[in-house]
Amino acid sequence: LFDVDVSVNLLENTGLFICFCRDITERKLAEREIQQRNKDLTLITALNDAANREEELESVVQTFAQATSEMFGARNTTLYLLSHDEQYLEMYSSALSRQTVERIERLIGTSIPKVRIRLSDSPFLQGLLSNRNGSITAAPQDIKQWVVEFAKNASMPPALRTLAQTLVPQIYKIINIHSIISVPMVASGRTIGMVGMSSSGEFKQEDLERVRKIIQQITTVILRKRAETNVRRQLRRITALNEIDRAISASLDMSLSLDVLLGEVTAQLDVDAACVLLLNPVDQVLEFKAGRGFRSSAIRRSRLRLGQGFAGQAGLERKVVHVPNLGEAGPLFIRAELLKEEQFIEYFGVPLIAKGVLKGVLEIFNRQALSPEPDWLHYLETLGGQAAIAVDSAQLFESMQMSNQELITAYDATITGWSHAMDLRDKETEGHTQRVTELTLKLAKHLGVSDQEQVQMRRGALLHDIGKLGVPDHILLKPGKLTDEEWELMRQHPEYAYKMLLPIHYLRPALDIPYCHHEKWDGSGYPRGLKGEQIPLPARIFAVVDVWDALRSDRPYRKGWATEKIREYILAESGKHFDPQVVQAFMELLDEYPDMMQ
């Protein structure tokens, strides 16, 4: 059969006609070739447009697969890329139509994960990859062998893989493939992947030639997109490291720092879950501290001795532990029962070491097989280093906080001891220091004084009369009235307090009360005759409370005053001895909590 062009001419007045037939096979072939080239150029343009739109590699590949299938009337087009270690072929476009995939998933009763095929166990695929000119497979037994190897070696959960192998005849029937074109993707003499195109009809040699030319273009696009992806990935990773550094620097809260870190770990490494186990140095046990991406809270119960399980091995040996398939790890995966709902496949355990000391283990889990490149592994170790720094910094801060708190507690205990010693020295005022301290803090809180300022006021109140240690006993404990000379010495005790406490850096912020609590609002007080707001607020607050407690307490030379009489006296001294605003606040406190003042 061939194409012809037929023309018929009628001979005038003869009833005859002349028929001309011309063989146009070559013209038709040329037209078809032009059409095919136009289609090829259209596909190449579409690929370049997708690449220029900065679409991800997967999107570009999917565009190629769909357009190629339509162009050749193929049942499907599949693009595989070699893993970095060249041990696996990884599927980057849907090998089957969505409808076909759904039929197979209904048959096996579960979803199909991303496919990775181990080449060492797939001689048929190895043969296809080695033929760089490409090939057409049409023999049913060869196609069935491809399905068998796929079901046997694709990286899937063991139960799913076993089921797929059992159902090979049914799967072969469903996919309905009679012919396959396979063409390796080669760049600079190195194979980077393969394109497979299947059809329920028959492919011709000219189809193979066209596919080979198109694949040269998609190979170039893939290399370009990979380079762009790597640049963007490196920028994201650098940004992520900066974010982690900022989190560590801005907050010494370990939980917050680890939460930021684990968020970046799962995002930048593109893994499903990650957690940090911290080493308890007392019993040498790794315990859960923080996690991200887990479906249940079971991981929180993780508790492993050093050397126990994969995390314990990573910690003990101080090296990264990699388990490609947890389902095949057997009893070595001692948390299999604990994490059975998670359906994890691949695992990494990274020891967290800071300043030569093991701090814990960073664990990475993924529900599909990974194909980590060297820079991925290097980044994982870098993140492990960041995690170790975060843990070490937080632990150091916690240790410093604990030490500081212990020191503060010791200082405060010493201050309390001094105040108690002063009370014991003067039996008549025993208990006075504790009472005025408590009431001073209540009044300060009522006036809105900050918690930090109240801490210093407490210390100042406890030590308000420490200067009296410089006053001789015969004056301090004299039962009668003091002479003018004795009063002069007594009035020196704020100066003594100042000289005693000033050299103690820790107590300098508390000096206001010991030094200034005898100053008066109108400037008639001592030792410096300060006036109004020249007097520090803590001293103005304490002055009211000190007089209140002194007047209501019994003395050898008088009985304690009644509450109402003291109120009247303090109100009368408002604007003279006392700050009027402090007096008003004190009266409000008396009215609001009358029992507190008893």
Comparing CA positions, the residue from 423, 505, 403, 504 lying closest to residue 464 is 423
Among the ranges given (26-35, 342-351, 578-587), the one the predictor scored with the smallest mean pLDDT: 26-35
Which pLDDT score, from 0 to 100, does residue 446 have? 93
CATH of 426-597, one of 1.10.3210.10, 3.40.50.720, 3.40.50.10440, 3.40.140.10: 1.10.3210.10
Backbone angles phi, psi at 375, to 5 degrees: -70, -30
Residue 532: what pLDDT? 95
Retrieve residue 320's tokens: 């990264």
User: DSSP letters of 411-480?
Assistant: HHHHHHHHHHHHHHH-GGGTTHHHHHHHHHHHHHHHTT--HHHHHHHHHHHHTTTGGGGGS-HHHHT-SS
Pairing state between β 76-82 and 190-199:
antiparallel
Report the pLDDT value the prediction gives residue 18, as an integer from 0 to 100: 79
Using pLDDT thresholds of 50, 70 and 90, give the confidence band for residue 565: very high
**Nearest 5°: CA angle at 596, between 595 and 598?**
65
The arithmetic mean of pLDDT across residues 22-33, rounded, is 72
- 324 backbone dihedrals φ, ψ, rounded to 5°: -65, -30
pLDDT class of 95 with cuts at 50, 70, 90: very low
Contacts 24+ apart (CB under 8 A), 533-536: 535/579, 536/512
Which carries the bigger pLDDT value, residue 438 or residue 392? 438
* 72 band by pLDDT with thresholds 50, 70 and 90: confident
Task: Give the predicted TM-score (pTM) of the model.
Answer: 0.54
Residue 569 CB neighbours (<10 A): 14
Q: Report pLDDT for 216.
A: 84
What is the average pLDDT score of the chain? Answer: 83
Q: Which of 59-63, 276-280, 378-382, 424-428 has the highest mean pLDDT?
A: 276-280
Cα 39 to its chain centre, rounded Å, is: 48
136: nearest Cα among 206, 72, 75: 206
Least confident of 53-62, 117-126, 130-139, 535-544: 53-62
Q: How many degrees, rounded to 5, is the angle at CA 419 between CA 415 and CA 424?
A: 145
Q: What is the mean pLDDT of residues 541-569?
A: 87
In this structure, of 155-159, 471-475, 498-502, the range with the lowest mean pLDDT score is 155-159
Identity (one letter) of the amino acid at 503? P
Using pLDDT thresholds of 50, 70 and 90, give the confidence band for residue 321.
very high
Asked if pLDDT for residue 331 goes beyond 90, the answer is: no
The residue-averaged pLDDT of 481-509 equals: 90
Domain 251-395 sits in CATH at 3.30.450.40
Q: Which of 36, 50, 97 is nearest to 69 (CA)?
A: 97
Residue 355 has pLDDT above 80, yes or no: yes
d(CA 428, CA 559): 12
CA dist., res. 31 & res. 25, Å (int): 10
Choose the weakest-confidence range: 146-160, 337-351, 512-526, 535-549.
146-160
Please indicate whether the domains covering 55-230 and 251-395 agree at the CATH topology level: yes
- Of the two residues 177 and 536, the one the predictor is more confident about is 536
3-class SS of residue 399:
helix
Average the pLDDT over 338-355 and give the result: 89
Cα 390 from Cα 250, distance rounded (Å): 11
Q: Are 178 and 138 in contact (CB under 8 A)?
A: yes
How far apart (Å, rounded) are the C-alpha atoms in residues 222 and 497?
81
Examine residue 472 and say whether the peptide bond preceding it is cis (omega within 30 degrees of 0).
no
CATH assignment of 55-230, among 1.10.1740.10, 3.30.70.120, 3.30.450.40, 3.40.640.10? 3.30.450.40
How far apart CA 462 and CA 151 sit, in angstroms, is 81
Q: What are the residue boundaries of the structural domains of the chain, listed by start? A: 55-230, 251-395, 426-597
Q: Is the dihedral of CA 286, 289, 293, 294 positive or negative?
A: positive
Question: How confident is the model at residue 157, as a pLDDT?
Answer: 54
Window from 316-325, 367-376, 435-444, 563-572 with minimum mean pLDDT: 367-376
Calpha distance 469→514 (Å, rounded): 12
From 93-107, 119-133, 367-381, the region with the lowest mean pLDDT: 93-107
Report helix, strand and coil shares of the chain as percent, to nearest 5. 60, 15, 25
3-class secondary structure, 370? coil
pLDDT tens-digit profile of 388-418? 888 888 778 777 777 777 777 887 888 888 8
More confident call, 462 vs 46: 462
Please give the residue that has the higher pLDDT: either 88 or 442.
Answer: 442
Query: What local confidence, expressed as pLDDT, does residue 518 receive?
Result: 95
Burial of 228 (0-12, 13-18, 19+ CB in 10 A): middle
Convert 238-263 to b/e letters by CB count within 10 Å (16 or more is b): eebbeebeebbeebbebebbbebbbb
The sign one gets for the Cα dihedral 490, 494, 497, 502 is: negative
- Which of residues 35 and 68 earns the better pLDDT score? 68
Count, residues in the chain: 598
pLDDT band per the 50, 70, 90 thresholds, residue 13 = confident
pLDDT, average across residues 267-276:
91
Q: How does residue 471 score in pLDDT terms, banded at 50, 70 and 90?
A: confident
At residue 152, the pLDDT reads 66
pLDDT of residue 419: 78
Banded model confidence at residue 317, pLDDT cuts 50, 70, 90: very high
